[in-house]
Structure 1
């Protein structure tokens, strides 16, 4: 995961390095049980900013100081175990939206309240070509992450999935409008974009729902507007660490409500992140988030939607997506009555996301 510049700077930190015995010169295990590579510090993007700050005698943040204590040294001298870096081209595609991503207009899903119109412009609805009433054709959610890709859950990927709807608020209304004083403000109207390619994670397990993450490539790039814009993702090491320790999070979707009916208007609710052991998960390498679900819960129809939290992103208050609605242990009728629910941990898949969104054909 991390590396150090093996120089005079590194001498000050050698006492905090963990030695875990012989490690293969190419493949290693980081302190948090992730697969990494033994790299020279200059080849480890995750830690390079920290080393640069130390060389310039710039004080480290509290999180950065903690990170230096978790470094795993490889058997070969001058190399440290570094989590595989993000795809630079894919990372740049995501960073193109740094100035506009995650902007929200206000701070349930089950037993929740409606979001403000236009306040979550990254929300997507997945539409399936099935012989059901119009409202029932929208069975999953997702989030726009670039002008051409939508992030969702792998279990939402079906042959009947045909398009993605963006810029929606109330599914029952052809045009969403809101009176602000004496002025009427309307959204531009929902945009339905055909899906060009469905990409599920190669290790997705449909039975246990491991690696429950997928990307949808849209047929055409969408035009970014006030009502259609991407969500922020945890691109930096600091954001990834913060996202995995944050407690209070927001879940949004058009799924089943306490009236056991699909909601026409997207709703939001707040849940608390729980330790995996509290959810009977004892494998610390597990790539899921466990969150509280008593009274407020994602439900059927919310799958693929985002779990987010507000934080400072490039110095501005933004919402960052940390999870994807995956599943709970009970039936749809149990929503809001179970102790916890599970979400795919987005931070664990940033390498796959940045690799996959790079056009290869």
Structure 2
């Protein structure tokens, strides 16, 4: 995930008045453990040391979706088929990847925070691994709809890391209201995003898992992008997957970036 702090300029991302930190692992606030039989599409995006860097989700036998800003962490593989990152069989659960970052991504503040990871071999779908559907076209999510965000790691700010997958229910926020909230922090909300939380929300992601799914019903509607240092009054921001359906379809059809 991204933690954003006011009044500092981070030159590498050219975001004056903001400092953006990537964080390892995930933090799902006030979440609960995901049963082994559910959410079989969630992927752990990992570096060359086998460390969890970002979340992701399987959409077909050979593609995982994650956030474009995770590219900076140099992910080289994904793990599928387990909710416990202490129980990884590299021979059957780990897949090397080729990264297909959205060509118009520059920073989370400018949007297009989406990346496809092409797996080195097709996943064997079974009772431990199944893809999740994505929108078939542009989809307007309803204000105040209940969705779920999923990830590994911390369960509270300042807590200890857990390797068990957790999920939390979040409430979608009106885009105009979300835009106003972020405008007060001197950030123009990028296009093609979904907001959730705010109003002292008690659940969500925090210091947590970039690239993980925002699941509405049975559909991956969003991708964890950024928030403001766990501030419960500022909505969390997710990439709107429905706005990138044609791009995703093109990559999947070509089988390459």
Tell me the TM-score normalized by structure 1. Answer: 0.56
Equivalent of residue 146 in structure 1, options 60, 69, 78: 60
Give me the whole-angstrom Cα distance separating, in 1, the residues matched to 2:48 and 2:190.
37
Cα distance in 2 for partners of 1:360, 1:224 equals 19
Cα distance in structure 1, aligned partners of 2:85 and 2:100: 26
1:111–1:336 Cα contact (<8 Å) kept: no
| 1:359 Cα deviation from its structure 2 partner | 2.1
* Greater relative CO (CA pairs within 8 A, separation 6+): 2
Match of 1:193 among 95, 105, 108: 95
Q: Deviations over 1:168-193 (max 9, x none)?
A: 11122358xxxxxxxxxxxxx96000
Q: Deviation of residue 336 (structure 1)?
A: 6.2
Q: Kindly indicate whether the alpha-carbon contact (under 8 Å) linking 1:255 and 1:300 is maintained by their aligned counterparts in 2.
A: no
Out of 305, 311, 328, the residue aligned to residue 212 of structure 2 is 305
Which residue matches 1:288?
193
Secondary structure in 1 matching 2:72: coil
Q: 1:113 aligns with which of 20, 32, 39?
A: 32
Q: Is 1:354 matched with 2:249?
A: yes
Cα separation, 2, equivalents of 1:209 and 1:260: 31
Inter-partner Cα distance in structure 1 for 2:64 and 2:252: 10
Instruction: Give deviations 1:134-184, integer Å, cap 9, x for gaps.
Output: 6xx101100000100000100111363110000111122358xxxxxxxxx
Q: How does 1:84-233 map to 2 (within 5 A)?
A: 109-130=28-49, 137-158=51-72, 160-173=74-87, 191-195=93-97, 197-206=98-107, 208-233=109-134
2-side partners of 1:140 and 1:166: how far apart?
13
Structure whose residues are more often strand by fraction: 2
Q: How many residues align?
A: 220
SS in structure 2 of the partner of residue 158 of structure 1: helix
Structure 2 match to 1:235: 136
Partner residue of 1:322? 221
Distance apart, 1:299 and its partner CA: 2.5
Measure the CA separation in 2 of the matches of 1:191 and 1:244.
36
> Which structure 2 residue ranges, 5 or more long, are not aligned?
1-26
Structure 1 residues 65-113: Cα deviation after superposition (integer angstroms, max 9, x where no partner): xxxxxxxxxxxxxxxxxxxxxxxxxxxxxxxxxxxxxxxxxxx821211
Q: Is the 8 A contact 1:252 1:307 kept in 2?
A: yes
After the TM superposition, which segments of 4 or more aligned residues of structure 1 sit over 3 Å from their partners? 243-246, 281-285, 336-339
Aligned counterpart in structure 2 of residue 249 of structure 1, from 131, 147, 150:
147
Q: How many Å separate the matches in 2 of 1:209 and 1:264?
A: 32
Unpaired segments ≥5 residues, structure 1: 1-107, 176-188, 311-318
- Aligned to 1:348, the other structure's residue is in SS state helix
Q: Distance in 2 between matches of 1:280 and 1:172?
A: 39
Change (3 A) 1:298 1:124: same
Counterpart of 2:16 in structure 1 is none
